[in-house]
Amino acid sequence: MRVLHFSSVTSTQDIARMILKENTVIVADEQRKGRGRRGRKWISPFGGLWFSMVLRFTTPLISLWAAVAVSMAFEELGYEVKIKWPNDLIYYGKKLGGIVAEHVGDLVILGIGINLKNPIPEEIKDVATGIPEVERDELLHLILSNVVKMDEYNILAEWRKRNITLGKRVCLSSGECGFARDIAEDGALIMMTEKGEIRIYAEDIIQRVD
């Protein structure tokens, strides 16, 4: 992986899209226009880890694997970071980071944002958190060395070990609720609802009602 470092960008996703070279990583100290999943904005001031990776899209599980790679990296540093389906990174019940995937031909740009020393805005403090003790570059290095080991692992098995979604009653942003039964071979969430079994691809789980 070739890592290119920038001080301030609109979004590392934009730079990755311009360069569009397989196995390139774009990391920035701050993003002025960071974006999250589903068109949301991603606040990314100095102090966090904000980066994008250009990878060949070899499996629909690639963004789940990225979440596993992050969780493993934190484990190596002594922190237990869990995954909420599909690839939200959770620390003590709050969102530590997230992953967005943008497809360009047979490449995928995986954007990963992790709160470290950056301030968390007051209005999201009850749902978001950071780990200020972790050094950005050390974490990035550990994540990248895990990302490239994808073929050595059973992605779904590793994801299942680290997830906090399966086995819970969950509600989607559409309002539909059900029981999160398993994850399918293509990464879909298999939910049991009153209407029967459904597979979810891009919905957000907004609530867990244990």
- Give the separation between CA 123 and CA 128, rounded to whole angstroms: 9
Counting contacts by CB under 6 A, is residue 42 touching ligand BTN? yes
Nearest Cα neighbor of 70 from 84, 61, 55, 81 is: 81
35-43, 64-72, 161-169, 182-190 -> range binding ligand BTN (CB under 6 A):
35-43
What is the residue-wise DSSP string for 85-139? TTTEEEETTEEEEEEEEEEETTEEEEEEEE-SSSPPPGGGTTTB---TTS-HHHH
Q: Min. distance of Cβ 197 from ligand BTN in angstroms?
A: 26
Build a one-symbol-per-residue string for 106-125: x at contacts with ligand BTN by CB under 6 A, - elsewhere: -----xxx------------
Starting from the edge strand earliest in sequence, which strands make up the sheet with 82-84, in order? 2-9, 24-31, 49-56, 107-114, 94-104, 88-91, 82-84
Opening angle at CA 119, ends 114 and 122, nearest 5? 110
Counting contacts by CB under 6 A, is residue 34 touching ligand BTN? yes
Tell me the pairing of strands 169-172 and 205-208: antiparallel
For ligand BTN, the closer of residues 93 and 193 by Cβ is 93
Counting contacts by CB under 6 A, is residue 163 touching ligand BTN? no
Counting contacts by CB under 6 A, is residue 11 touching ligand BTN? yes
Counting contacts by CB under 6 A, is residue 86 touching ligand BTN? no
In the complex, residue closest to ligand BTN by CB: 98
Counting contacts by CB under 6 A, is residue 24 touching ligand BTN? no
Among 99, 134, 172, 205, which residue sits at the site for ligand BTN (rule: CB under 6 A)?
Answer: 99
- The residues that touch ligand BTN, with contacts defined as CB under 6 A, are 11-13, 31, 34-37, 40, 42, 44, 50-52, 88, 98-100, 111-113
